[in-house]
Structure 1
Amino acid sequence: MSEPVLSLRGLTLSLPQGADRPYAVEEVSYDVERGEIMCVVGESGSGKSMAANAVMGLLPKGVRPAAGEAIFDGQDLLKMTEKQHRALRGLRIGMIFQEPMTALNPLMRVGAQISEVFEAHGRLTGKERQSRALELLTEVGIPQPEKAIRAYPFELSGGQRQRVMIAMALALEPELLIADEPTTALDVTTQAQILELIRDLQQRHGMAVMFITHDFGVVAEIATRVCVMREGRIVELGSADEVLEHPRHPYTRDLIAAIPGSVIPEPRGGEMPAPLLEVRHLQKVFRSRGGLFKPSREVRALQDVGFTLAPGETLGIVGESGSGKSTLGRCVVRLERPDSGSLSLSGIDFSALTGESLRRERRRVQMIFQDPYASLNPRTRVGMAIAQGPIANGVPRPKALARADELLELVGLGGVADRFPHEFSGGQRQRIGIARALALDPELIVADEAVSALDVSIQAQILKLLEDLRQKLSLSLLFITHDLRVAAQICDRIIVMQHGRIVEQGTARDVFLSPQADYTRELVDAIPGRGHALVGS
């Protein structure tokens, strides 16, 4: 058997003094062979990305190699200088990052950024670089590559930006490709396309791929072998079939069980009461003014949207980016005002309210946002962040702060009111966001992609928390997501949206297991792990 492309042997990375554990990665050993996709799986803090950073020479400040080796072509990457690492990066080891918008230069055209890879390593002439950039964009399946090569990153969709990152990573045909959570932020159909693209390119170029993820559904789609990590250590290592079909470690079994949609609950029975929310013929159009070189645009975000939501019911709104689902949620909480149609809240025309009457009724409808860190003031202690809404509505400060303590206890974070947002994990911050949404005792909560940025096991905990709170507080939930798996796990009914219109609605079980619309079937077919009996039973 040939030598592995990458061999980690006892890799140990120490954390700075005062961290929650001494080592980010401890005694980690595995190989990545030519022509295989090694999936490294684990939650945030497992060390999976830190090992990749060590390979690339991109360790964060304060983290340093303490023991072990990372052998690539007979050389220990851990002992290389920054200059030696720079010579390898891009040329022989390529990397795709999770968020292409932060990895791409927003002020440079796409073609120039790909050409820069060749320039950094002294490859090709100026004209040849541009020609090769166009070939790469074509190879990774970007539509209209001649137009995309002249575009800036913000002019491309998330999936297209990720394809640009893949083109850059493959530009110099590296022997090893490291993909760090490259599909986490993408819609399921775009995710499926990117996974297929990486698999096809890997087979075509014969590369070794180190694919980092927290989602076993993705593992089922792409992995040759699997390494499962927890708190810096390997807990399981084996072929994809072995790990998926016969997981040995309880943690591995927990991660597989946490895949959303693995069990679809039966619909709740009983007669539905009069609706709490009634939406009729909602329309919303966004118009952008043209400029000297830019034509004006008109986007029909909502087109004749109508549905009802009963007290105590959870209704899922599912669709890809651009489907109108988030615009719908913002209209329901009155962050946007529809152009026409009506939103009736217990018989009151909520969409027509203004001034004091709107402020009075608005407390009944609250929102949980996708990114709780962005929606929390980093300089405000979390107890006060939760109390601000009630204080603004006339609740005395001591009473509002006491209620904030109670709500933090309710969401499983008792005794933390004096801490700041940065002191919490992503899942904990989302719990704080939920507590804040509950502070005004609403009847309806709109959760906009509230779990999409979380690890699957944390995601499962937040979904359970929302369901427990719905029952305990008799809440109605409007649950907005791009992931049909997640919606099927928590929702009574599901509405599927495409291009601002409702294309299908029904019980969660019917929509997930027996989709009627072509678009819904595409969403179901694109679910990672769907073909491996990991979801939908």
Structure 2
Amino acid sequence: MKPHPKAPALSVDRLAIALPPGADRPYAVDRVSFDLIPGEILCIVGESGSGKSMSANAAMGLLPETVRPVGGRILMAGEDILTFDEARMRALRGRGIAMIFQEPMTALNPLMRVEDQICEMFEAHGLLSPKERRARALDLLAEVGLPDPARAARAYPFQLSGGQRQRVMIAMALALEPKVLIADEPTTALDVTTQAQILRLVRDLQERRGMAVMFITHDFGVVAEIADKVLVMEKGRVVEEGTAADVLNRPQHPYTRKLIAAIPGMGAGRARRAERETILAVEGLTKTYRSGGGFLSPPRVVQAVQGVSFSLARGETLGIVGESGSGKSSVGRCLVRLQDPDGGRVLLGGADMAHLKGEALRQARRRVQMVFQDPYASLNPRIKVGRAIADGPIAYGANPRAALKEAEALLERVGLDASAAGRFPHEFSGGQRQRIGIARALALKPEIIVADEAVSALDVSIQAQVLELLAELKRELDLSLVFITHDLRVAAEICDRVMVMRKGAVVEIGTGAEIFGQPREDYTRGLIAAIPGRPTAVAA
């Protein structure tokens, strides 16, 4: 990039970060240089392991103990941050540089009210009186767009939605008016409308405050929506950089072109397939959650699923889309009986799975299996993956030796080596673990797979590979697929029909062409309008 007339708020100069012995390459970050300019947003893009988050963590002094900077400088106000001791880094964090993390629920203290966590920022730096701190906390919560700042201030993190928690994280990051804001994948886990709101909020705050923003993402739709400049990283190195318009519309490097090509399209959707037999029929499904309550307060009641009905044909992919809290995951969990529905029927081959018990339910469960969003959380970290895949068939009476042999064959079928059977879950990447989750679901030879946000946490290129794998398996095994997602681009790419949900109810259902080409409902049109811009939408 050409020198900028404004002095950089932060300069990264030939930064090198070494990986421990035995890693897949010598450096996590290899001689990387870039400037963060006041009033601009620099998006750093790349797959998992590209070094983008490691660069941000180095600037915050938050590198893991196993890696260390071995070259280069990170300059702020003429001083090299890499030379700071822990006391100077604590003084810098929040005031000079602040960070918004990907998952606010892990970054926020679950045992402290929101207000106290914001006030703690001022207290740690010896700023303001207790009364002033609380007033400032309310002002910050209002600035980030929380509709009832006083209520949010008194809440614990678990009492807020994902989007609200992310707004709290932004409020905390802004508390001490930093010159540099680092946002590390802050919208990856959010539904499309909440994502659009957070992106708009970050852009508005950046423009009002004149901050320099480093925005780390693997989603080129987000880049098209928010970036002024773009830096593309692969395996620790910068492979391309430039303005958003240049990188997105005229990418030069093959790696950049590959990432852009992997973005799910938003065409008219898949055409209708020839009618086939119905394998699953859901009629009037309901599910209500009750929580809390005590001597003086009534329990909190949430109607998660309200009279949902749909059918699934053999070999069909039905997408279920909607915002967080729409009830889509609750429907999926009721289908596999991870949760018992309160009412309605789930008809599978004439049997009502919603009301089966004992051995009859156990046998029916073989026919409907689930692939989860986070395979690491659903795999036992102490059990080798071959055994994890084989455990299902063994529980249904298969010979253990034969089941383990079949597990190895399944691992090869999903694109891994048979030797992976002897390794533990932590030894695999996120995309590899998702393949293991698919192999485990296939082990019982199901007729239906329910995939709940199965690709939402993956890089765009890994996501494309997993989607392609699911499509291949569907064709080969004549599987039916219920695909739950908040990403409408993914739904448009792979679904034969799409069901849109809001607040537990079905808004509309139709073919991909009908839903994405001619949506009937305002809510559906709003979801489609909120999709982050595609590269072609960026003006030159």
Instruction: State if a TM-score over 0.5 links the two structures.
Output: yes
Change (3 A) 1:409 1:218: same
Write out per-residue CA displacement over residues 293-328 of structure 1, whole angstroms, 9 at most, x where no aligned residue.
643122111111111100000000111111111111
Q: Which residue of 2 aligns with 1:300?
A: 303
Change (3 A) 1:531 1:12: closer
Matched to 2:243, the amino acid is S
Matched to 2:511, the amino acid is T
Matched to 2:247, the amino acid is V
Shifted more, 288-297 versus 241-250: the winner is 288-297
Alignment of 1:3-42 (within 5 A): 3-42=7-46
Does structure 1 conserve the Cα–Cα contact (< 8 Å) formed by 2:266 and 2:492? no
State the shift of 1:509 in Å: 2.3
Distance (whole Å) between structure 2 residues aligned to residue 262 and residue 457 of structure 1: 16
Distance (whole Å) between structure 2 residues aligned to residue 211 and residue 102 of structure 1: 19
Change (3 A) 1:151 1:293: farther
Distance (whole Å) between structure 1 residues aligned to residue 119 and residue 299 of structure 2: 31
Q: Which residue of 1 aligns with 2:74?
A: 70
State the shift of 1:263 in Å: 5.0
Write out per-residue CA displacement over residues 312-357 of structure 1, whole angstroms, 9 at most, x where no aligned residue.
0000011111111111111111122222211111222222221111
Does structure 1 conserve the Cα–Cα contact (< 8 Å) formed by 2:450 and 2:484? yes
Q: Which residue of 2 aligns with 1:241?
A: 245
State the shift of 1:30 in Å: 0.9
Does structure 1 conserve the Cα–Cα contact (< 8 Å) formed by 2:270 and 2:495? no
State the shift of 1:57 in Å: 1.0
Q: Which residue of 2 aligns with 1:401?
A: 404
Query: 1:138 is paired with a residue of what secondary structure?
Result: helix
Query: 2:293 is paired with a residue of what secondary structure?
Result: coil
State the shift of 1:289 in Å: 4.8
Which residue of 215, 218, 232 corresponds with 2:236? 232
Matched to 2:211, the amino acid is M
Does 2:91 align with 1:96? no
Does structure 1 conserve the Cα–Cα contact (< 8 Å) formed by 2:28 and 2:235? yes
State the shift of 1:35 in Å: 0.5
Does structure 1 conserve the Cα–Cα contact (< 8 Å) formed by 2:54 and 2:63? yes
Matched to 2:385, the amino acid is V
Query: 1:149 is paired with a residue of what secondary structure?
Result: helix
State the shift of 1:265 in Å: 5.1
State the shift of 1:513 in Å: 2.5
Q: Which residue of 2 aligns with 1:487?
A: 491
Distance (whole Å) between structure 2 residues aligned to residue 39 and residue 406 of structure 1: 41
Q: Which runs of 4+ in 1 moved over 3 A?
A: 262-266, 530-534
Q: Which residue of 2 aligns with 1:367?
A: 370
Q: Which residue of 2 aligns with 1:130?
A: 134
TM-score by length of 2: 0.97
Does 2:51 align with 1:47? yes
Which residue of 155, 163, 169 corresponds with 1:165? 169
Matched to 2:320, the amino acid is I
Distance (whole Å) between structure 1 residues aligned to residue 283 and residue 195 of structure 2: 33
Alignment of 1:132-531 (within 5 A): 132-262=136-266, 266-270=270-274, 272-292=275-295, 294-415=297-418, 416-530=420-534
Query: 1:307 is paired with a residue of what secondary structure?
Result: strand
Query: 2:370 is paired with a residue of what secondary structure?
Result: strand
Does structure 1 conserve the Cα–Cα contact (< 8 Å) formed by 2:279 and 2:349? yes
Write out per-residue CA displacement over residues 128-153 of structure 1, whole angstroms, 9 at most, x where no aligned residue.
11101100000000111011111111
Taking only aligned residues, the RMSD between alpha carbons, in angstroms, comes to 1.3
Matched to 2:287, the amino acid is K
Write out per-residue CA displacement over residues 467-507 of structure 1, whole angstroms, 9 at most, x where no aligned residue.
00000000000111111111111110000000111001111
Write out per-residue CA displacement over residues 3-32 of structure 1, whole angstroms, 9 at most, x where no aligned residue.
111111111111111111110100101111
Q: Count how many residue pairs are aligned between Structure 1 and Structure 2.
A: 533
Query: 2:55 is paired with a residue of what secondary structure?
Result: helix
Write out per-residue CA displacement over residues 68-100 of structure 1, whole angstroms, 9 at most, x where no aligned residue.
111111011111111111111101111111111
Q: Which residue of 1 aligns with 2:124?
A: 120
Does structure 2 conserve the Cα–Cα contact (< 8 Å) formed by 1:494 and 1:508? yes
State the shift of 1:269 in Å: 3.7
Distance (whole Å) between structure 1 residues aligned to residue 292 and residue 7 of structure 2: 59
Change (3 A) 1:266 1:318: closer
Query: 1:26 is paired with a residue of what secondary structure?
Result: strand
Query: 1:417 is paired with a residue of what secondary structure?
Result: helix
Does structure 2 conserve the Cα–Cα contact (< 8 Å) formed by 1:264 and 1:489? no
Query: 2:422 is paired with a residue of what secondary structure?
Result: coil
Does structure 1 conserve the Cα–Cα contact (< 8 Å) formed by 2:267 and 2:516? no
State the shift of 1:262 in Å: 4.7
Change (3 A) 1:198 1:295: same
